[in-house]
Amino acid sequence: MVTPLAHNERAARVKVMIFDVDGVLTDGSLTYGPDGEVTKTFYVLDGLGIQLLNRTGVQTAIISARTSPIVIKRAADLGITHVFQGQHDKRLAFAELLNKTGVTAEECGYIGDDVIDLPLFTRVGFAVTVPSGHPEVQYRAHYVTRNPGGRGAVREVCDMVMRAQGTYEQALAPYFG
């Protein structure tokens, strides 16, 4: 088990935070409408956490195996500029992200919940999962959130990164006016 100091040190080095979608930005449920469309529910506290993190200079990205126009809309609303969907081999999108941003793998954080995420867990400097994450993913994570996916896990990680980097108070300052 990784000590709290170790995961805070890892969070302090994050320059790009990457999010999986299903099970992380959502609770993992897929709702099908009568015409076959899929809807997803996102948590507002997670969204503000991403926006705050962006404002501190940490870039944000999505790498997801599924493809959904809803994800493009949510990413645009939150200011997530790097979005990769339909990525069954997430290593390819990750390599492209590193090339676009100029950061190293060690300077990236990733939060995922299933075995498809393991290739990135072995590459990033800060690997995070949620309490419902697959046991193999939990075993390899540097940190397991207290909050579930789609219900505060992302906000918990965003706050952790900002605290570790000393930008948390600055990010919240406009709300204490």
Query: Model confidence over 103-162: pLDDT tens digits?
Result: 999 999 999 999 999 999 999 999 999 999 999 999 999 999 999 999 999 999 999 999
Superfamily of domain 4-165: HAD superfamily/HAD-like (3.40.50.1000)
In angstroms, the CA 113 to CA 24 distance is 7
Q: State the DSSP string of 47-81.
A: HHHHHHHHHTT-EEEEE-SS--HHHHHHHHHHT--
Instruction: Delimit the domains of the chain by residue range.
Output: 4-165
pTM over 0.85: yes
Which of 83, 146, 90 has its CA nearest to residue 121? 90
Per-residue model confidence (pLDDT) at position 42: 95
Q: Are 14 and 142 in contact (CB under 8 A)?
A: no
Query: Model confidence over 48-106: pLDDT tens digits?
Result: 999 999 999 999 999 999 999 999 999 999 999 999 999 999 999 999 999 999 999 99
Q: Are 63 and 97 in contact (CB under 8 A)?
A: yes
